[in-house]
Amino acid sequence: MTDTIRRAVVLGCGSALPTRCVTNAELAETVDTSDAWIVERTGIRQRHIAGDGETTGTLAADAARKAMAAAGVEPDDIGLIVLATATPDQTFPSTASWVQHEIGAKNAFAFDVAAVCSGFLLRSAPPNRC
């Protein structure tokens, strides 16, 4: 029997955002704030807000389909789905298992990582703003 090295690799990336984009100026129309106040404290200039039918799961499935297309892989090629979120669709079953079903990755293990800020890597984030 020959020894084989098993490894995990990232072959493709995908992303998805809710359709509705809200700027700080729009937010200031309904909340006592301003663009300058928000930017100074958070660096945020706009945010995307999920609408009807847009959930963590639907966005993750869209992103997964894009990643699979970028990688040139089929659902049966996927072995693991790890979904890191602070906003799962529900506690049980995991949102990752719903994504697994939606993209047809019947051979994959799937689980959520719900560790809030410590579950994510932040680039260029202001200190202590998680």
How much is the pLDDT for 94?
Answer: 95
Q: Which residues of the chain are under the pLDDT cut of 50?
A: 119, 125, 128-130
| Fold designation for 20-119 | Peroxisomal Thiolase; Chain A, domain 1 (3.40.47)
Q: Under 8 Å CB-to-CB from 48, ≥6 apart: which residues? A: 17, 18, 19, 20, 21, 22
Determine the pLDDT at residue 129: 45
pLDDT, position 45: 94
CA terminus-to-terminus distance, the chain: 50
pLDDT at 5: 79
Residue 37 phi/psi, 5-degree rounding, is -60, -45
pLDDT digits (tens, 9 = 90+) for 85-122: 889 999 899 999 999 999 999 999 999 998 766 545 55
